[in-house]
Structure 1
Amino acid sequence: MTSLQQYHRPLGSTGLTVSPLGLGTVKIGRNQGVKYPSGFELPTDQQVRGLLAQARDLGINLLDTAPAYGLSEQRLGPLLQGQRQEWVLCSKVGEEFDNGESWFDFSARHTRHSVQRSLQRLQTDYLDLVLVHSNGDDLTVLADEVYPTLQQLKQEGLIRAFGFSGKTVAGGLQALEDGDCAMVTWNLREQTERPVLDFALSHNKGILVKKALASGHICLEGEDPVRSGFELVFSHPAVGSAIIGTITPAHLTQNVVTVANILQQADTHSGSQARPR
């Protein structure tokens, strides 16, 4: 079976080692207000359990969740019992989702409450990574209490690293100045955040990629848009992992096989380049 195990890599200087693909879990907890090209039913616990086992067998060790992902955290907690050391758990703070709408709170009180609630839901005593779910007004969010609070929670050992999932270059750069990681949009349609990746590379900061396949929309065009999309994503050496939000086993396998092939070819090419003539 194809596996990404041999391609695990450090996420900047966080001390975390992640698989080049991470499993996004919004689709196991929420099917309202999502930006996918078609609707879907939430999977059953048995289906989620199978998906997690498949991801693990394929060499994926990063799970991305959030309070704004509906029931995602509550469902993952019981399903991950006995497996804590096998996963890098990333959650978020800042965004809440109730009654079909999002609202935001970046105060110190809510940030601490959100992390403690995520710990309880996920049935763990620490989170590997916590990202700020920005509302798009990145610099204003970063001037709020959320980043200092996450720094304090890191010092207390409740989280191992923290960062920012934003929407602007200025926000991403500022977030990396003071934090460990940024989650950026980086795909065939949107490449404006490249300066954030460049900064991360030169300062040994972590980068996670969201919307690597444009939330599924990129799969509607091109001869092999999945491969082309992942080739772009992993063409930048700052990228630690790309988060994919599929709940379809066949799609998960296809993505892993594609990425493993791309990374294998890159290794072969770099090896041939390094050999003396």
Structure 2
Amino acid sequence: MSTLHPFYRTLGDTGLRLSPLGLGTVKIGRNQGVKYPNGFELPDDDAVRNLLALAHDLGINLLDTAPAYGTSEQRLGPLLKGQRDSWIICSKVGEEFVEGQSQFDFSAKHTRHSVERSLKRLGTDRLDLVLVHSDGNDLEVLDQEVYPTLAQLKQEGLILAYGFSGKTVAGGLRALQQGDCAMVTYNLREQAEREVLDFALQHNKGILIKKALASGHVCLNGEDPVRNSLELVLGHPGVTSAIIGTITPSHLAQNVSAALSVLSSME
């Protein structure tokens, strides 16, 4: 089986080596208020265990989760028992999903509480990466206590790197000046934040891509939309990894196959 191992990329200057595709886990914890074209049932534990095993076999080492992803963290903890060193775990702070609604809190107290809760849920002593889940008011969020608190948690060794999942160029640029990485929307339909990718490349910062396949919508058109999307995303030298959120093993294998084809052609 071909794997992504030969194509790992370093996340900026953090020293963390990431697979060029990461597995997004919102769909294992939440099916309300998500922006996918089709509804879905949450998979059972055996299905998630098999999906994680397949991801590992395909060379994926990055798992993306968040408190706002429903029960994602709580479910991953027991399922990853004994495998901690096989994975780079990225979680978030700032957003909670309560009774079908998003709520935001960027205070120092909540930031620390959120990280400590994620550690407990995931059954680990450190989070490799923590991102701020912005509410869209990126610069206002960065003016609050959340980033200095993450810097302190990094000093304490509870997190290894931190960054920002925002929605604006200005937010992404400021977040990269102060933190280790940014998570940016970049796909065939939306390329407004390309400037953030360029800045990251120039300043040796990490970039994670969200909505690389436009939350599944990009699969609805084009001759080979997945490959074309990954050509765009992985073709930018500033990109470390693109997060793909799927609970379907065949989709995961197809995405990795497309990524391998793209990455091999770039060598």
Q: What TM-score do the two structures reach when normalised by structure 2?
A: 1.00
> Letter of the aligned partner of 2:263 in structure 1?
L
Provide the residue aligned with 1:140 in structure 2: 140
Provide the residue aligned with 1:274 in structure 2: none
- Matched residues in 1 for 2:158 and 2:260: separation? 33
- Matched residues in 2 for 1:142 and 1:173: separation? 11
> Letter of the aligned partner of 1:188 in structure 2?
L
- Matched residues in 2 for 1:14 and 1:62: separation? 15
Report deviation, 1:118: 0.1
The secondary structure found in structure 2 opposite 1:237 is coil
Does the alignment pair 1:188 with 2:188? yes
Structure whose alpha-carbon radius of gyration is higher: 1
Report deviation, 1:29: 0.2
Provide the residue aligned with 1:271 in structure 2: none
Does the alignment pair 1:91 with 2:91? yes
Provide the residue aligned with 1:154 in structure 2: 154
Report deviation, 1:87: 0.2
Provide the residue aligned with 1:78 in structure 2: 78
Q: What TM-score do the two structures reach when normalised by structure 1?
A: 0.96
The count of aligned residue pairs is 267
Report deviation, 1:37: 0.1
Report deviation, 1:177: 0.3
Provide the residue aligned with 1:224 in structure 2: 224
Report deviation, 1:257: 0.5
The 5-angstrom pairing of residues 164-175 of structure 1 reads 164-175=164-175
The 5-angstrom pairing of residues 60-75 of structure 1 reads 60-75=60-75
- Matched residues in 1 for 2:83 and 2:194: separation? 35
What RMSD over aligned residues (CA atoms) do the two structures have, in Å? 0.4
**Partner deviation per Cα, 1:202-230 (whole Å, 9 max, x = no partner):** 00000000000000000001111111100
- Runs (4+) of structure 1 moved beyond 3 Å? none
Provide the residue aligned with 1:200 in structure 2: 200
Contact 1:2 1:256 in 2 (8 A): no
- Matched residues in 1 for 2:77 and 2:181: separation? 24
Does the alignment pair 1:235 with 2:235? yes
Report % sequence identity: 74
**Partner deviation per Cα, 1:153-193 (whole Å, 9 max, x = no partner):** 00000000000000000000000000000000000000000
Structure 1 residues not aligned, in runs of 5+: 268-277
The secondary structure found in structure 2 opposite 1:251 is helix
- Matched residues in 2 for 1:194 and 1:235: separation? 12
The secondary structure found in structure 2 opposite 1:77 is helix
- Matched residues in 1 for 2:61 and 2:227: separation? 21
Report deviation, 1:200: 0.1
Provide the residue aligned with 2:119 in structure 1: 119
The secondary structure found in structure 2 opposite 1:160 is coil
Provide the residue aligned with 2:248 in structure 1: 248
Report deviation, 1:235: 1.5
Report deviation, 1:76: 0.1
> Letter of the aligned partner of 1:132 in structure 2?
V
Provide the residue aligned with 2:105 in structure 1: 105
Structure 2 residues not aligned, in runs of 5+: none
> Letter of the aligned partner of 1:76 in structure 2?
L
- Matched residues in 1 for 2:224 and 2:9: separation? 26
The secondary structure found in structure 1 opposite 2:128 is strand
Report deviation, 1:234: 1.1
The 5-angstrom pairing of residues 14-53 of structure 1 reads 14-53=14-53
- Matched residues in 2 for 1:75 and 1:234: separation? 30
> Letter of the aligned partner of 1:235 in structure 2?
G
- Matched residues in 2 for 1:235 and 1:53: separation? 27
- Matched residues in 2 for 1:185 and 1:208: separation? 9
> Letter of the aligned partner of 2:41 in structure 1?
E
Does the alignment pair 1:266 with 2:252? no
> Letter of the aligned partner of 1:261 in structure 2?
S
- Matched residues in 2 for 1:151 and 1:84: separation? 23
Contact 1:76 1:122 in 2 (8 A): yes
Report deviation, 1:14: 1.1
